[in-house]
Structure 1
Amino acid sequence: MMRLDPPDTREVDYSKTRNNVTNWFDTEYSKYQRLANIPVISSVRLSLAPKGTASANSVEDMNVNRANAKQVLEFVDAILDTLDDRYKTIIKSLYIQGSQNWQVAERLGYGTTSYGIIKNKACALFAQTMDITAGTQLTAYKDQE
């Protein structure tokens, strides 16, 4: 029998959640993007470590890291595909393509206030989906009294 969790009644802290999502894309996602774009290296052993240091950067490790990074990027794409088109456009444009807020608002035809509300919702939905599926802790909640 399927078990559903009771609804989460905690109030989302949109500002903190948005900051968490921004920081995650700036640090983690960009790291995976860089790793995923490292060219495949064949059997030549590459070590930039000074002589005498044990090098854990074997070609196999590097290729595994690269493959893992590509999977992470695909996973994030799959999560974005579950979101409403507006939300997906906001997250992709801002955090992956590097657009400015005003450019995204203009593209979607929103004024500043409406855009801010929709951007918060987009970040919250992305964060909650990442938290459930990947075990991140991007969603912030207001303190319960």
Structure 2
Amino acid sequence: MRLAYIHIICIPGRGKTHISRRLGQYLSFFHAIPVKVFNVAEYRKSMCGGLKDAEWFDCHNAEAMALRDKCNKVTVWCRVYDVWCMMYGVWYMVYGIWFMVYDVWCTVYDVWYMVYGIWWITFKVHDRMLR
């Protein structure tokens, strides 16, 4: 089984969620590939409470910045752990590529940290499955 992660990263209000969902629908309908779309903004809204004003997204607002970073990092590790569990669940059922589409808004450092963490755990899971 091969895994693919698609990360869509851009400034807010540019259509990341729409493209993520459309790409997921396309892959699952035309190619019969199981797809899971996860939107970090929806997770943040559930954790921090609904819509926020522009001041909350200001990079000089240290309290909000710390809360957003915490949501991004917790989200990544929760989703990676979920991928780990789901990989064991679909290992014998799915032949092809399993896609996970992330809709993420974070800094460049967090993106590299996140991608490194996801691929590290993916390699560990594959290594355990091959033994």
The TM-score, its normalising length taken from structure 2, stands at 0.34
Larger Rg, first or second structure (1 or 2): 1
Higher strand proportion (structure 1 or 2): 2
Greater RCO, 1 or 2 (C-alpha within 8 Å, sep 6+): 2
